């Protein structure tokens, strides 16, 4: 089965961390990793960490966490723009084929 890659946005709520958005990066581990490396945030868990992003590989229906970034609201805004831009470029390249 083909592996796919996702970046999920989560927020700490009274019930714990809840996912509120996910970008599907498709297949291709190198391209997915290249996108994630462009993102802002810290790998260090902060005591008051409220927002985080998870980079996940899904194969055979099972999610495998790869990396997590703890983010500020400004980081989330910046990261959303980066991911959207990269996915837009990927789709434009696919349309040229």
Q: Under DSSP, is residue 41 helix (H, G, I), strand (E, B) or coil?
A: coil
Residue 1: is its pLDDT beyond 80? no
- Please count the CA atoms within 13 angstroms of the CA of 28 that sit on its side-chain side: 11
Q: Please give the tally of structural domains in the chain.
A: 1
Residue 4: is its pLDDT beyond 90? yes
Range of the domain at 21: 4-95
The whole model's pTM is what?
A: 0.88
Alpha-carbon distance values, 35 to 1, 15, 29 (Å): 23, 30, 10
Confidence of residue 45 (pLDDT cuts 50, 70, 90): confident
Task: Provide long-range contacts, Cβ within 8 A and 24+ apart, for 59-67.
Answer: 59/1, 59/2, 59/3, 59/4, 60/1, 61/1, 63/6, 66/33, 66/36, 67/36, 67/43
Residue 92: is its pLDDT beyond 80? yes
């Amino acid at each position: 089965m083909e592996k796919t890659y996702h970046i999920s946005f989560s927020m700490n709520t009274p019930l714990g961390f809840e996912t509120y958005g996910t970008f599907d990066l498709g297949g291709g581990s190198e391209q997915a990793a290249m996108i994630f490396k462009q993102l802002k945030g810290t790998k260090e868990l902060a005591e008051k960490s409220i927002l985080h992003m998870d980079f996940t590989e899904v194969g055979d229906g099972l999610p495998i966490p790869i990396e997590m970034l703890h983010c500020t609201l400004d980081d989330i805004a910046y990261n959303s723009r980066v991911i959207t831009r990269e996915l837009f470029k990927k789709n434009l390249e696919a349309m040229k084929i």
